Homo-oligomer: A and B are copies of this chain.
Amino acid sequence: MKSIGVGLIGSGFMGKAHALAWNAVRPVFGDVPAIRLAHLGDANDALARAKADEFGFAKASGDWRQVVADPEVDVVSITTPNKFHLEMAAAALAAGKDVWCEKPMAPNLADAEKMLAAARQSGKVAVLGYNYVQNPVIRHISKLIGEGAIGAVNHVRIEMDEDFMADPEAPFQQRHEKANGWGAIDDFAVHPLSLILTLFGPLERVMCDMAKPYSTRKSPEGEREVEVFDIATILMRLKNGASGFIAVSRTAWGRKGRIAIQIFGAKGSILFDQERLNEFQLYLTSDGPTEAGFRTVLSAPHHKPYDRFIPAPGHSLGFNDLKTIECRQLIGRMLGEEALSIDFEKGILIERAVDAMARSFQEGRWVDLG
């Protein structure tokens, strides 16, 4: 592969994040083919053209199908709302393109399963935008767990909290409608699930509660009932035998991008919080009774591929850098290398877990994941 032709559909928060990653991946890593920013698609021609200029794409279209059909495009970044993912991904895969689709897969499990089927049928690379697993700190935690540094893991807790829905005075939005899913579990819990899959493997069963702190919100037509749940708490058992929970909230005042992970093993513990994504904490019993304590380890060139960004330790990667690493892994897949990604095969496990959570909540009982 002499160069990689990139198509991008969507130019919002995640569209821009993909564009930055595609711009940075070669200067950062150096070991990938030249990147051609070929074609950007958005809601209309004018917007597409403006964003193509900003992001450095050659062509622009108001019709995403032109991006998918473009012979200069090898891989398509799909960053539109998730209700479009199935159609776009299926089309791109059918057109022989590799796909990098933002998470979650689709608003319901049936559509997600169709996406997986499309990917399998195409034989193309199909990965999802789960960027938190790409953090060098998370990768190092995974390595430590794999090496048995903290012994067999027996208990895991993950919280993901933000506060963008926390204001009770904020008006009713489309995302408060049932059609958009359950709320916290499909919007947030998928991230903890991506981390659990990466670090520990699949879930065995879940027991879920959901809550809506504000049951109505203002709208131009008066108070409207909120149909989604901003909070969820989920008991879980992992196939590896560990117990634990996932707790997620979009109404947790003061939390901005928290993903707090606590991992307990027979010989130590590991803590991490995405709000301080450049550090983790490690407790080892081998440190002895009088001097053991959680070590605050700062990210460093030793934690690959931090070194590709900065040669000095403790200088910090940012959120967008994780997306650049994700992009490099995607390219690795395209080149046939071993690579760490949440692909559609793993993504479906996440979607099934979300579905199981919803059923558990509705039925008030544990649901097995089979």
- Chain A contact residues, CB within 8 Å of chain B: 13, 16-17, 19-20, 23-24, 26-28, 30, 34, 53-56, 140, 144, 149-151, 154-155, 157, 159, 162, 164, 166-168, 207, 209, 211, 213-214, 231, 233, 235, 237, 243-245, 247, 249, 251-258, 262, 264-269, 275-279, 281-283, 285, 287, 289-298, 300, 302-303, 309-321, 364-366
Copies of this chain, whole number: 4
A16 neighbours in B (Cβ, 8 Å): 27
Interface SS, A side: mixed
A144 CB, nearest partner CB in chain B, Å? 8
- Residue contact A295 to B298, C-beta cutoff 8 Å: no
- Residue contact A249 to B264, C-beta cutoff 8 Å: yes
The residue from B207, B262, B316 contacting A257, defined by CB atoms under 8 A apart:
B316
**9 closest Cβ contacts across the A-B interface?**
A256-B314, A318-B318, A254-B283, A293-B297, A257-B314, A154-B213, A211-B243, A293-B295, A256-B313
A316 CB, nearest partner CB in chain B, Å? 5
Beta-carbon nearest neighbor of A13 in chain B: B311
Beta-carbon nearest neighbor of A34 in chain B: B53
A276 neighbours in B (Cβ, 8 Å): 276, 278
A335 CB, nearest partner CB in chain B, Å? 17
